[in-house]
Structure 1
Amino acid sequence: MSVADHLRRRIHAEGPLSVADVMAAALVHPELGYYTTRDPFGAAGDFVTAPEISQMFGELIGLWAAVVWQGMGAPDPVALVELGPGRGTLMADALRASAGVPAFRAATSVHLVEASPALRRHQATRLQGARPRWHDGLDSLPDQPAIVIANEFFDALPIVQLVRDGRNWRERRMAVAADAEEFVWTLAPGASPHAGLLDPRLRERAPDGALAEVCPAGLSIARTLADRLNRFGGAVLAIDYGHGVSAVGDTLQAVRRHRPADILATLGDADLTAHVDFGALGRAVTEAGAVQHGPVGQGDFLQRLGIEARAEALCRAATTEQGAAVRGACARLIHPDEMGTLFKAVAWTRADAPPPPGFE
């Protein structure tokens, strides 16, 4: 059975499905899902993330974590947590770089929140020496200070799409066409309760026919992490592509073999993501009593952490060809026409904590 077959059966039994239900089934169905059945990363996969572009990305985040830990008063123990760690590349680079702060490494235990069995196998191989512990969610993380890294994690969480229809916001749903084969978009009858999650200004002022997106799972995770910060201390660093201020627009997209794909024709065979609403995440964190720092562009963030100096250091020990590759990777991570401005970084801390490095 394919994801498409599974969704057709559900639609016949339950009626049109929300975008969130479609994304959840397509990405993390335990037997059929995109992430649970394959390794999507790298040139041979469907997309490349920043840690796969250059070791510098993970190294700088590892040093960032060590400096944040020192600013926290060097608690021992401390959990170093990554949400959606992919192949384990970022964590491996972060641990290698942070080994230069031996007390930090001695105090840390590594925790990976990962749903994919296929990716857990990659992580186990790459991080064998770190003895990581895996978690299905946040509930089983240890009750202690934590530094949490989430790189390209929130963009893959299921979203709800809402369309303004007069005074109401109606939910966009997926149905099956009359031929019982192709999928089509439709609108649920009546007002959606998810409209209450929209920015109040957006909810009241958006024009008729406007489409807006909310991510209930992302907002819930943000609040949970904020609660943990308030209880135990620590910091969260989230890097993703998206917008700093809540806005209308359809950002749901499918990517297959590094190219845009038809969402409805590639369910289960392509990555599905949506732009992260950092404004909404910030409101959730603030309502929970914590603080959001940023967002700042990924380029500015990495430059403040010293990526250009790190690139030059690598180049001095490299061949001409290797040096060109290092400089090219650096440009890809920070240039405004590449990942420098579309991708953004935010940090979450307790209200009494100073701004972390890169957010001063």
Structure 2
Amino acid sequence: MSTLKAELIRLIRDEGPLPVSRYMALALGHPRHGYYMTRDPFGQEGDFTTAPEISQMFGELLGLWTAHLWQAMGAPVRFRLIELGPGRGTLMADVLRTTRIVPGFHAALSVHLVETSPVLRAKQAETLRGADPDWHDTVEAALEGPVIVLANEFLDALPLDQFVMTAEGWHERLVGLNGDGELAFGLALVGEDSLKLAAPAGTVFEQPYVALDVVAEIARHVAGHGGGALFIDYGSIRSGFGDTLQAMKRHGFVDPLAEPGKADLTVHVDFERMGQAASKAGAALHGPVTQRDFLLALGLAQRAQILSQKADAAQRRAISEAFDRLTQPGETGMGDLFKVLAFSHPGLPLLPGFDLHRVPEQV
């Protein structure tokens, strides 16, 4: 039994069952035993692989997107380039490398990273040596003046609450203990009267309060101070019902309650609700669109061709495999599972990647 699991069992015995959001927060962010506090989870030796780790092309295209947004903002002489949940710093490194060719861009920016993991902060410092990043524990602390915010696979790790429809109405889903003293899901005894949603018995509804607050906070800031934000994550374009809580360990799915602190916990992002939160906060909305359409619109196919022309056979094969992984649909690829949402100051034009009439043909 993991140390954190033993602590959670004691906590539940002392205080009662936990909301799913609190369970997620402790499993991922417990100061001593939380999943992200104790490890580097990325890559083949970790538990999962993200797009920046798959190919430099992903970060290069986002770098050019970022530079275009800065120019559309009027090329402010000072702005904050912020990444939320920057992993090993790979994405930010590729963005900075690609944008060296943009006159005035590097002189204007300061790099800010929202990261709570000491292990990952150390990795980021190594990757971004020379960029002099500032680290922040919260999104609020990073926001100041004009900003450009990048967030790849950030919202999916934010805690949410779950509710289940029963014959008596909606009840909150909790993490408690079964007859054997093991962690188990159950329902609150008291119903949740604030939910006015009709659904069949057994339906699960998820409330991503934390993610909605983060999106609204950033949207209010860019609407008032200038700039924009780009979120890329797996989830749905349209809102719906369903239990999306999942745990990942060594690139495979495991029971979310089996090893808290030893496996990654994530949920699917409801992009429709995220967009509504951004719009309500005063920002202009772009998307959501699929990752495939977004990357192709930015020129992923052309970039792959250019890289392949200078590559040997093994490198060309790797480039082709990365292209497929980033764009293909279904379980083997990220193309349609991942969605892209941006929002910006309402005075800015439509941002690149969201005019799907200009999506080039796949090659």
- Cα distance in 1 between the residues matched to 2:197 and 2:140: 35
2:346 to 313, 329, 351: 351
The AA in structure 2 aligned to 1:263 is P
C-alpha distance 206-350 of structure 1, shift in aligned 2 (>3 A)? farther
In the TM superposition, residue 167 of structure 1 has moved relative to its aligned partner by 6.2
In the TM superposition, residue 166 of structure 1 has moved relative to its aligned partner by 4.2
Which string of whole-angstrom CA distances, capped at 9 and with x for unpartnered residues, describes residues 200-243 of structure 1?
A: xxx42322221011111101101100110111110100000000
Contact 1:168–1:190, Cα closer than 8 Å, also in 2: no
TM-score, normalised to structure 1, is: 0.95
Equivalent residue, structure 2, for 1:327: 320
| Structure 1 unaligned regions, length at least 5 | 197-202
Residue 130 of structure 1 aligns to a residue in which SS?
Answer: coil
- Cα distance in 2 between the residues matched to 1:140 and 1:16: 32
- Cα distance in 1 between the residues matched to 2:247 and 2:237: 22
TM-score, normalised to structure 2, is: 0.94
- Cα distance in 2 between the residues matched to 1:238 and 1:185: 31
- Cα distance in 2 between the residues matched to 1:343 and 1:292: 18
- Cα distance in 1 between the residues matched to 2:123 and 2:144: 27
- Cα distance in 2 between the residues matched to 1:212 and 1:48: 28
Equivalent residue, structure 2, for 1:188: 188
- Cα distance in 2 between the residues matched to 1:226 and 1:290: 5
Instruction: Point out the more displaced range, 226-235 or 85-94.
Output: 226-235
- Percent identity between the aligned chains? 50
1:10-25 matches, within 5 Å, as 10-25=11-26
1:1-360 matches, within 5 Å, as 2-166=3-167, 168-180=169-181, 182-192=182-192, 195=194, 203-337=196-330, 338-360=333-355
In the TM superposition, residue 102 of structure 1 has moved relative to its aligned partner by 2.9
| Structure 2 unaligned regions, length at least 5 | 356-363
In the TM superposition, residue 138 of structure 1 has moved relative to its aligned partner by 1.8
In the TM superposition, residue 355 of structure 1 has moved relative to its aligned partner by 1.5
- Cα distance in 2 between the residues matched to 1:137 and 1:289: 21
Which string of whole-angstrom CA distances, capped at 9 and with x for unpartnered residues, describes residues 63-100 of structure 1?
A: 10000100111111011000000000000001000111
In the TM superposition, residue 261 of structure 1 has moved relative to its aligned partner by 0.6
Contact 1:151–1:240, Cα closer than 8 Å, also in 2: yes
- Cα distance in 2 between the residues matched to 1:59 and 1:289: 29
Instruction: Point out the more displaced range, 15-24 or 287-296.
Output: 287-296
In the TM superposition, residue 142 of structure 1 has moved relative to its aligned partner by 4.7
Instruction: Point out the more displaced range, 49-58 or 158-167.
Output: 158-167
Contact 1:297–1:342, Cα closer than 8 Å, also in 2: yes
Residue 184 of structure 1 aligns to a residue in which SS?
Answer: strand
Q: Number of aligned pairs?
A: 352
- Detail structure 1 runs of 4+ shifted over 3 Å in the superposition: none
Which string of whole-angstrom CA distances, capped at 9 and with x for unpartnered residues, describes residues 91-148 of structure 1?
A: 0001000111031111110000001000000000000111000000122225210000
CA RMSD in angstroms comes to 1.3
- Cα distance in 2 between the residues matched to 1:209 and 1:40: 34
